[in-house]
Structure 1
Amino acid sequence: FVVHPAGLAALLLLCSCATQLVCDAAAVGEAKYMVQKNADFDVTYNDTVTHDDQTIYAFNHTISRNKTVGVRVTVDVLQESVESPILFVVRQKQAVMSFQVPLNLRGLNLNSIQKFASLGFIYQRQYPYKHVGRTLCQPPTRAASETQYFFVDVSTLSSRGTNYQLRVSRVESFTLQTDKKFTFSASPSQPQYFKYVFPDGVDTVIVKVNSDMNFPCSVMSIQDIQCPVYDLDNNVAFIGMYQTMTQKGAITVQRKDFPSNSFYVVVVVKTEDEACGGPLRLYPLRPDELINAGNRSKVLDVLVSPETYVIGMLFCLGIFLSFYLLTLLVACVENKRSFQMSGGSSAESVPLLCSSERSLDSIARSRQESLSSVEEEEYDTLDDINSDKNIVRTKVSSIQPNKNDFKVPLRNIATIAVFYALPVIQLVITYQTDVNVTGNQDICYYNFLCAHPLGALSSFNNILSNLGYVMLGLLFLLIVLKREIVHKRALDRNDINALECGIPKHFGLYYAMGTALMMEGLLSACYHVCPNYTNFQFDTSFMYMIAGLCMLKLYQKRHPDINASAYTAYACLAAVIFFSVLGVLFGRGNTVFWIVFSVIHILATLLLSTQLYYMGRWRLDSGILRRIVHVMYTDCIRQCSGPMYIDRMVLLVMGNIVNWSLAAYGLIERPNDFASYLLAIAICNLLLYFAFYIIMKVGAVAALSLK
């Protein structure tokens, strides 16, 4: 049997036709009825849709290149229970937007409870919204006026009819005006966004969004003029800059970041309030369980205003430069006065009280009559007054500081500053880069209402404000340098005032204090590059240093013959910073940490009080407990006697009351900001010790005057 090629071709054509007929017949059996309607703006359409039909609403409107009018689509589902959601697809000239109603929006992800979620115990929350409103993204046009068409397709897979309402309206106030407040309402299923165009001559504006309601939590976003616009809770972070807010939010926008000289201001209400510190709902126990979100509408207002801050910058610099000018004037006056006095008789300038012929025994006798001298080498009234007390009395000239010893504090703090500052600078630059790349302004906690960006820095004015620390620290160093030069010149010419009078001059701690003040400015500026809870310790670390160095200098002023070890002092300050780090990491609500810290705080207070009361004549070693028991037995049980130095004891008791109160407050309240709490302890103790020094000094002067 032989088949002719022409016959084979005819047979194949016949089979193809038969197959096409069968497919067409099947298609006809499953065909949907498609209805297209010409629709108008600001008209509410009530209709029903099933899986057998599809409705298309055709709209047309005229757009202008010079004026932008927004178009908003609002949909309501009228039935309580819906078998399948209704799908709405909006087809425009250069954009397509689709959404379903009811619109199911998910809550937060389950990263924090991933272990339980993986076991199937709990599931992510879902919130259905039957009222949905979306603003259409306007495609650009180059013509002066153009008529554009767009279509709204309505379909569903539900076999039962679902009733809905559709309304398309124009948003006349779609474009925001400069310095004009506009009020609107938003919800998770009804986000809002508006357009702003930079006016001529304005390069920087600040967008402020305000509300009288803390909750629901909301997000404001700045996006470029492009489609699609990301205006839902689950996609608002995809593009542009965004910021979570409760009552107030502000984002500074620069013209150079938007080539079209315009941008969208998007406001989205979140489905949950945990991001703003609000309560968190329980997780559902079934995978498909829907949670009623309730009323989450929020009334807000937006205001766009131009921003300039050159005058503020110059004013800030002028304030600190005025200190330099004042110091220069004082120095000139002092130099002129000293030059005029240099012509007088040198013999008249020799004070009688500072004569080197005065015996040291007379000095000792005058100090013995004071019950509570400010000097550590005072005598007490016991019988062992003539015994060795480990403090050898020498002439003032013989206890001058070693040339290298006073440089140790400066060298140490300079080394600490370099090794501390370099990682800090690297970290904050990384933070700032993340903010610029991701647009997530929640990484850094600025005062956004007064944040002025410059270059890659989001808040340059906050950084500039710390320039005062650096300038004043440098001025302090210059003043110390001048005093040191004057003192060295006096020593070189064998000035008897410099050789025999006053306490020895220790300039090392002064240099360390000035360097610490400058580093406080640098690290505070680093903190303000991207301020948040975890790096607040950058701002406070050298505050602890300054407080410790000030207390050390006061101690040195009272005890000039005792030069405290710089290594020991910095080791103690390092321990303070170590506790600051632990407090930031583990201090929030950790009862064990607060108990341990409070105990250490109280013990340190007792040790310091003992040091101040006994003027250094005690040792912390293995026999400390035995000596404490012996003193308690001899002074309190065997022979009850009052304290030898009443005034000193009273002041130290008051200081202990303050420190114990701070420890009790921390243990009871457990404040979240541990760095500020620790800084409060340091400042309080510095002020207490300063008051202790002043009172003891005044008491000693009064005792001398009575003689």
Structure 2
Amino acid sequence: MVMLIWWKSRHKPLPGFLSMCFKWNFILRLLFQLFLFTLVLNVSCDELTTERNRIVQKDAQFDYTYNDEVNNDNQTIYAFNHTVSRNKTEGVRVWVNLLSENTKSPILFVVRQKQAVLSFQVPLILRGLYQRKYQYTQVGRTLCQPPTRAVSEMQYFYVDVSTLSSTGISYQLRVSRVESFTLQTEVKFSFTATPSQPQYFKYDFPDGVDSVIVKVNSQTNFPCSVMSIQDIQCPVYDLDNNVAFIGMYQTMTTTAAITVQRKEFPSNSFYVVVVVKTEDEACGGPLKYYPLLPDQLMDPGNRSKTLEVVVSPAIKPDVYIMGMLFCLGIFLSFYVLTFLMACVENKRRRGQTNPADMSPAETGMLLGKGLVTPSPYEYGSVADNGSSFSSEAITDSIASAEVHYGYMERSMESVGCSRRDSLSSVEEDDYDTLADIDSDKNIVRTKKYLCVSDLARKDKRILSKKYQIYFWNIATIAVFYALPVIQLVITYQTVVNVTGNQDICYYNFLCAHPLGALSSFNNILSNLGYVMLGLLFLLIVLHRDIAHNRALVRNDLAALECGIPKHFGLFYAMGTALMMEGLLSACYHVCPNYTNFQFDTSFMYMIAGLCMLKLYQKRHPDINASAYTAYACLAAVIFFSVLGVVFGKGNTVFWIVFSVIHILATLLLSTQLYYMGRWRLDSGVFRRVLNTVYTDCIRTCSGPMYIDRMVLLVMGNIVNWSLAAYGLIERPSDFASYLLAIAICNLLLYFAFYIIMKLRSGERIQCLALVCILFTAVVWGFALYFFFQGLSTWQKTPAESREHNRDCILLSFFDDHDIWHFLSSIAMFGSFLVLLTMDDDLDNVQRDKIYVF
């Protein structure tokens, strides 16, 4: 061919044979091209004809039910049009019902809109837990309605129906307008939803409203549902498997509530989406059986749920200001009252004669007026018959009175020498390492009649430093405990704000007022009382500490040799613990849940333990536990609290181990208290126990030597054994509260014993202490009432917890739990004042006339 073209280009005639070949080649090529063109044209025409046979477009209308059939040879397109107004949002809903049964191929519905495409298949397959599949033949979906800029605009949308099934599938199609698609403020609207027919509605913020609370209620607990708040955008995530993709959401049984702020939605509007879940496990419902075959379809059952939605305006900024001022006003009033009482007390003291300016004889006369007549109920003095006193007791009383009389006649000079000796450079261990002192310990502490002077023999300066360790240790613990807690709760709050998953935190959503990044500011603010009253208590203790040190400097006889020994280290620790309780409780309420509940209770355990130690220290200053031992025991309690929260629910082994440890610890502590620390746990303990039982119970059948101590310890063991049995049998789900109840019961028991023994010993309670006791008891009663209201509980699922949510009851800002914070902080402060002032009546009584119990 190339040669022919070249020959032609030379303008030379071709030979006859070659010229003929060239002509036939041209003709053959032309015929071949015509054949190819015809073939392609025929195929294209066939395809166009086939396409025209498959696609059928209908001009459809609203609120009309179409009964049609579809297979792989035809496709139906329904064309709709409607007018969209900028000032009115109109919802459009597509409803499909599958009439054919046992279809192998589903029908695909595709809704094409101006700015969105919605597609779904019928039957609709939704997956639940463990990938279990549920089939729904009725599907209803609401079309997304993007906003329009025009005043009025005609919009078109198309519903395409197709399938790959070779056999015809019958279906019903209905497109209708949704009445009341836009929610109105304070207007309730009822609707019905199922897993395959979710519902959502639009809400526009009215002028002047910056925050609203969306409430969804139902009369039935199940089926489980999800309420979601989403921005106005397409697509809308309204199925169980995608509703958590955007926005804020929470599961619900009967109640759900979400506070929405205008600043979070630039369009000044949002969607309220309600989806019914395929299963109820997320709401604490029963777990269905697992299918034997992985592709087996589960029966969805009747999962229709009727709900009611209402949108109400949230509180205004003025309510926030009133709530903060109210909170500050309550606790600042305690500062003002304390200041006024201090002024009155200083004025009263100035009118009295200064004891430092009196002669020793006059000081002795002043002390003599404060002496307490020996009581027949002194420690261990009750005779066996319970009606008379032994001669030994009378003799000891007379001897004690003679000693007291001689003690009163000591000169001021001898007191000064004693003071100088006590301030000498000695260590606490100097007493313990001397054999004679150790022997004297055994003699003194096993006496039948013990006075505070018998257990206040160690150097005052050394004891003061020993008890100051309580304060420094708890301050160190507070710093290292609080920093990671604050970091963790900030992370929790960030996760909630970013993911929108409001099931993470257990708020009272009907009274949760957000401020900034905080979801429930009111629950955090109400903890301010713990901090302010804890600081006030520290200031009161500091004032007493300074006054006591000044009295020691001027060699005041009352400060040196009278009253309960003044050691303020435990008081400082108690005030610090109260402040930390407020801080950690606030951190817990940033996002309350079962993983961080120990933040709210850790320092409650410490407060209860420190109060019991302070009560014991009052009459036993020399033999009280060291700070290291006390905090180690409290750390063990917190450790068990964490284990109980994580592993305690329904774990039989854990409860058995804990109950055994609880009972053994009670027995060991009882033995230690009964023998005043003169009891050792070593290899010979069992032999000594058997000897004691044989000697005292079998051979002589004698009663206990220390009756009052025995009564207390028997009651304590009964209470603790009962609590251990209750825990082992009932296994309460809230282990942290159960452990706190054990601590509080023991504290109340010991406090009641202290008050009773104080009155039996002939002592009296001054007016200030009595007022504090009565006031504190009343406040504790009201506080516990609000505590047991139970507005939320992390022992249940978040949906079940919201069933207990209630509206605010104070200033439209604080709920029942906030009032518990107010009252409990005041009650704890009052309890601390009781411990501080309860023995003020003994300030002018010599220590060898103050009985130990």
Q: Which residue of 2 aligns with 1:598?
A: 659
Deviation track 1:593-650 (CA, whole Å, cap 9, x = no partner) reads: 1100000001111122223333333222222111111111112222222323444433
Higher RCO (CA < 8 A, seq sep 6+): 2
Would you say 1:636 and 2:697 are equivalent positions?
Answer: yes
* Residues 192 and 6 of structure 1, relative CA distance in 2, 3 Å threshold: farther
Equivalent residue number for residue 616 of structure 2:
555
CA contact (8 A) 1:204 1:252 kept: yes
Give the superposition deviation at 1:369: 7.4
Q: Distance in 1 between matches of 2:727 and 2:545?
A: 43
Shift in Å at residue 22 of structure 1? 5.4
Match of 1:695 in 2: 756
The answer to whether the aligner puts 1:211 opposite 2:218 as a matched pair is yes
Deviates more, 1:635-644 or 1:527-536: 635-644
What residue in structure 2 maps to residue 336 of structure 1?
A: 347
Alignment of 1:359-370 (within 5 A): 370=381
State, as a whole percentage, how many aligned pairs show the same letter: 75
Which position in structure 1 is the counterpart of 2:553?
A: 492
The alpha-carbon distance between structure 1 residues 18 and 663, as it changes in their structure 2 partners (threshold 3 A), is: farther
Structure 2 match to 1:529: 590
Correspondence for 2:832: none
Structure-2 residue corresponding to 1:296:
303
Q: Which amino acid aligns with 2:126?
A: L
SS in structure 1 opposite 2:227? Answer: strand
Residue equivalent to 2:228: 221
Farther-moved stretch of structure 1 (363-372 vs 240-249): 363-372
What amino acid sits opposite 1:184 in the alignment? F
Contact 1:399–1:504 (Cα < 8 Å) also in 2:
no
Q: Map 1:448-459; keep pairs closer than 5 Å.
A: 448-459=509-520
Structure 1 match to 2:577: 516
Once structures 1 and 2 are overlaid, which stretch shifts more, 593-602 or 477-486?
477-486
CA positional deviation for 1:490:
2.0
Deviation string for 1:291-346 (max 9, x for gaps)? 11111111111111111241333322322222222222222222222233358996
Q: CA deviation at 1:535?
A: 0.8
Are the counterparts in 2 of residues 205 and 305 from structure 1 also a CA contact under 8 Å? Answer: yes
Q: Is the 1:221–1:266 Cα contact (8 Å) retained in structure 2?
A: yes
Q: 1:535 and 1:63, CA in 2 relative to 1: closer, same or farther beyond 3 A?
A: same
Q: What is the Cα-based RMSD across aligned positions, in Å?
A: 3.1
1:33 paired with 2:54, answer yes
- The 5 A counterparts of 1:13-32 are 14=34, 17-18=37-38, 20-21=40-41, 23-24=43-44, 27=47, 31=51, 32=53
CA contact (8 A) 2:504 2:593 kept: yes
Tell me the residue number matched to 2:795. none
Contact 1:401–1:506 (Cα < 8 Å) also in 2 = no
How far apart, in 1, do the equivalents of 2:347 and 2:339 lie? 12
Aligned partners of 2:595, 2:709: CA distance in 1, in Å? 41
In structure 2, give the amino acid aligned to 1:239.
I
Counterpart in the other structure of 2:642: 581
CA 1:364–1:296: 2 relative to 1, 3 Å: closer
Which residue is equivalent to 1:198? 205
2:187 to 180, 189, 195: 180
Aligned twin of 1:613 = 674
User: Using a 3 Å threshold, how does the CA distance of structure 1 residues 231 and 342 change in structure 2: closer, same or farther?
Assistant: farther
Letter in 2 for 1:73: V
SS at 2:475 equivalent = helix
Amino acid at match of 1:315: F
Residue 399 of structure 1: how far off its partner (Å): 4.3
Aligned-partner Cα distance in 2 for 1:280–1:368: 62
Residues 226, 249 of structure 2: 8 Å contact kept? yes
Indicate whether 1:104 and 2:115 are aligned.
Answer: no
**Which of 118, 125, 136 matches 2:132?**
125
Check the 8 A contact 1:355/1:500 in 2, yes or no. no
Match of 1:49 among 67, 70, 92: 70
Deviates more, 1:337-346 or 1:71-80: 337-346
| Residues 463, 366 of structure 1: alpha-carbon distance in 2 compared, 3 angstrom cutoff | closer
CA contact (8 A) 2:356 2:556 kept: no
Whether the 8 Å contact between 1:225 and 1:262 is mirrored in structure 2 is yes
Higher mean C-alpha deviation, range 306-315 or range 426-435: 306-315
> Higher mean Cα deviation, 30-39 or 272-281?
30-39
Residues 71 and 536 (structure 1), Cα distance of their counterparts in 2 relative to 1, 3 Å cut: same
TM-score relative to the length of structure 1 = 0.90
* Secondary structure of 2:298 counterpart: coil
Q: Does 1:84 align with 2:105?
A: yes
Are the structure 2 counterparts of residues 368 and 136 from structure 1 closer, same or farther at C-alpha, using a change threshold of 3 Å? closer
Change (3 A) 1:578 1:320: same
In the TM superposition, what is the alpha-carbon distance from 1:546 to its structure 2 partner?
0.4
- 3-state secondary structure, aligned to 1:658: helix
Contact persistence 1:396–1:500 (CA under 8 A): no
* Pair 513,395 (structure 1): closer, same or farther in 2 beyond 3 Å: closer
Contact 2:216/2:307 (8 A) holds in 1: yes
Q: Which SS does the other structure have where 1:66 is aligned?
A: coil
Which amino acid is the alignment partner of residue 332 of structure 1?
C
Task: Name 2:329's counterpart in structure 1.
Answer: 318
SS of the residue 1:319 aligns to: helix
Kept in 2, the 8 Å contact 1:397–1:500? The answer is no
In the TM superposition, 1:399-548 aligns within 5 A as 399-402=459-462, 403-548=464-609
Secondary structure, in 3 states, of the residue corresponding to 1:390? helix
**CA contact 2:455–2:623 (8 Å) conserved in 1:** no
CA distance in 2, matches of 1:446, 1:57: 48
Q: Supply the distance in 2 between the matched residues of 1:441 and 1:314 (Cα, whole angstroms).
A: 29
Residues 224 and 253 in structure 2, CA contact (< 8 A), matched pair in contact too: yes
**Deviation of residue 582 (structure 1)?**
1.4
Aligned residues: 681
Secondary structure of residue in 2 paired with 1:503: coil
> Counterpart amino acid of 1:180?
V
Task: Decide which structure has the larger Cα Rg and report it.
Answer: 2
Bigger helix fraction: 2
> Is the contact made by 1:356 and 1:500 (CA closer than 8 Å) also made in structure 2?
no
Against the structure 1 CA distance between its residues 6 and 228, is the aligned structure 2 distance closer, same or farther, given a 3 Å change threshold? farther
Partners in 2 of 1:409 and 1:11 — Cα distance? 110
The amino acid across from 2:460 in the alignment is: Q
Match of 1:271 in 2: 278
Q: Quote how far apart the aligned CAs of 1:545 are.
A: 0.5
Q: 1:303 to 1:351 in 2, by over 3 A?
A: farther
Tell me what 2:413 maps to: none
User: Residue 174 of structure 2 aligns to which amino acid in structure 1?
Assistant: R
Letter in 1 for 2:232: I
Give the superposition deviation at 1:356.
Answer: 13
Partner of residue 92 from structure 2, selected from 63, 71, 80: 71
2:32 & 2:560 partners in 1: Cα distance? Answer: 124
Q: Deviations over 1:126-185 (max 9, x none)?
A: 111111111110021001111111111111122222221111111121111111111111
- Give the C-alpha shift of residue 33 in structure 1: 2.3
Report the CA distance shift for 1:306/1:11 in structure 2 as closer, same or farther (over 3 A).
Answer: farther
Residue type at the aligned position of 1:400: K
Residues 594, 670 of structure 1: 8 Å contact kept: yes
Distance in 2 (CA, whole Å) between partners of 1:664 and 1:424 is 34
CA distance in 2, matches of 1:220, 1:59: 30
User: Counterparts of 1:685 and 1:484 in 2: how far apart (Å)?
Assistant: 29
Cα displacement (A) at 1:81: 2.3
Give the deviation of 1:584 after TM superposition: 1.9
Contact 1:401 1:505 in 2 (8 A): no
- Separation in 2 of the partners of 1:366 and 1:355? 21
**Contact 1:75-1:167 within 8 A present in 2 as well:** yes
Q: Would the alpha carbon gap of residues 643 and 154 (structure 1) be closer, same or farther in structure 2, given more than 3 Å must change?
A: same
Q: Is the deviation greater in 494-503 or in 526-535?
A: 494-503
Residues 491, 499 of structure 1: 8 Å contact kept: yes
1:679 equivalent in alignment to 2:699: no
**What one-letter code is carried by the residue in structure 2 that aligns with 1:20?**
V
The AA in structure 2 aligned to 1:232 is: L
Which deviates more from structure 2 when the two are superposed, residues 25-34 or residues 637-646? 25-34
